[in-house]
Amino acid sequence: MALPAAYTTLRLFLDGMLCMMALYALLSYFQQQKSIYWQYALYILCMVATFWIDDIGYGKVDYLPGADYRAALLETIAFVLYIRFAVLLMNIAVQDSVSYRILWVITTILMAGALLDTVLWLAGASDSLRSTLYTINRFSVAAGALLVMPRILRLRQAVVTYFIVGSLLFTSGCLLALCINFIPALFTRQIDHPFTYPITFMQLGVVGEVLCFTLGMSLRNRENEQEKIKYQAQLIEQLLENERKQQKLQRIRDDIARDLHDDVGSDLSSINLLSQAAARQLDRQPDEARALILTIGQTSQRVVATMREIVWSLNSAQTSLESFSFRLRETASLLFDHQPTELHLDLPLDSDPTWVLPAEGRRDLFLMVKEMLHNAVRHAQASHVYVQVRQQAGVLQVSVRDDGRGFRVADRTTGNGLRSLNQRAASLSGQLHIESAPGAGTLVTFQCPLAEDVVIA
């Protein structure tokens, strides 16, 4: 019996849409090399082939659903591919293990049904028996699908919306087509009414499902691209951070090299010259030789102190506030030794061990406070210098106050010393404040955040 023109036209139109979607999926596979695309294309082609075989079956007076072995087998393959596609699209194996197990059971039911149908077909079983088993199998699969959909909906992914809508269209079309086969009043196969053919409902469901899935895949591709962009941005930021750390490390190395050259190198050269002069004067001018030897001793102390400062700044274990206070006390005492200025130190003997000095800023912090003390010695002409270090609520507070001659802060904004202090304060994410006036002394305060010590159990 020839197929009616209205039905044939609708079928060709819908088949054309499905074939275009299959072609899109294949091209996407060749472009992106993801298995989800070829499985999706094969699923669509299997469904199209199933529809055409069913068209041939509709020409038989005694047509029964599932009686054609080829159509039933292709449909089973399509359903298995459909499940596999859904698992890959939404990563169900990771997102919801229960749904994944249910889908695995549905796949087993489909494959077991196909195997049983193959055995019965080879054994020459009746079409009515095979059709009954086919119907039971498909209703079982539909029940499993309806069971898993609410669980998938709870995943709350954007792509899930498209999958649920598509799956509902697909399942509804399949169930409606299956039911119409057993309702003679609807299954009339009239010439000018395509909807009297069950396959029409099933194909419309597949078309709707394919459109939803295509939109879902587009959304997933966009999400993947956004994740790649985000990952690349994080990688770039990490590379920039590494570059900043390398620059900071290089700056520390340059500072150490400069200290070794300017301070240690200069002092060692002085020791060499002073020792030669002392050797020449030892017999003829013993008093001057003794003075030179004392100078050599003082210079040696400066060398030792400088080396200790360098070693301390490089030792990653020296991050406690007590360690900083000990190093500051030794440096300040040596600096004010033989000076007319009286030094007053108020340093913490113990502190909250939760907070430590920032590992990358210890040297800057120490050199900053050392610069404050040097300024007080060189410029303040003070009788007393007061140094205080405090830690409170994760913040380090340092103040250096003198009773010297003071100065106008507005007149010193362009000096190298003040610029250096501000640069070091900025590198420590701290705040530097200077109060001074002629004849009123100077108060320099600085505070910066401490790092939280992470203890690994």
pLDDT by residue (tens digit) across 189-207? Answer: 666 677 777 777 877 888 8
CATH number belonging to domain 5-237: 1.20.1070
The answer to whether 194 and 6 have CB atoms below 8 angstroms apart is yes
Q: Locate the domains of the chain by residue range.
A: 5-237, 319-457
The answer, yes or no, to whether residue 457 has pLDDT greater than 60, is no
Question: Residue 351: its pLDDT value, please?
Answer: 67
Give the ranges where 315-450 is alpha helix by DSSP (H).
321-336, 362-375, 416-427
Q: What is the mean pLDDT of the chain?
A: 81
Sign of torsion over alpha carbons 413, 415, 418, 424: positive
pLDDT digits (tens, 9 = 90+) for 203-224: 788 888 788 877 877 777 787 7
297-355: pLDDT as tens digits: 777 877 777 777 777 766 666 677 788 888 888 888 878 877 888 989 988 877 667 77
Q: Could you report the per-residue pLDDT of 29-87, keeping only the tens digit for each?
A: 888 888 888 888 888 888 888 888 877 777 777 778 888 899 889 989 988 988 887 78
| Least confident piece of the model among 4-13, 331-340, 427-436 | 4-13
Check if the beta carbon of residue 267 is closer than 8 Å to that of residue 299.
yes
* pTM passes above 0.75: no
* H runs (alpha helix) in 358-405: 362-375
In terms of CATH, what superfamily is 319-457?
Histidine kinase-like ATPase, C-terminal domain (3.30.565.10)
- The answer to whether 448 touches 355, Cβ cutoff 8 Å, is no
**Secondary structure (3-state) at 345:** strand
| Nearest Cα to Cα of residue 197 among 431, 395, 10, 402 | 10
Output the pLDDT for position 456: 40
What is the predicted pLDDT for the residue at 263? 65
Residue appearing with tokens 């009954």: 132
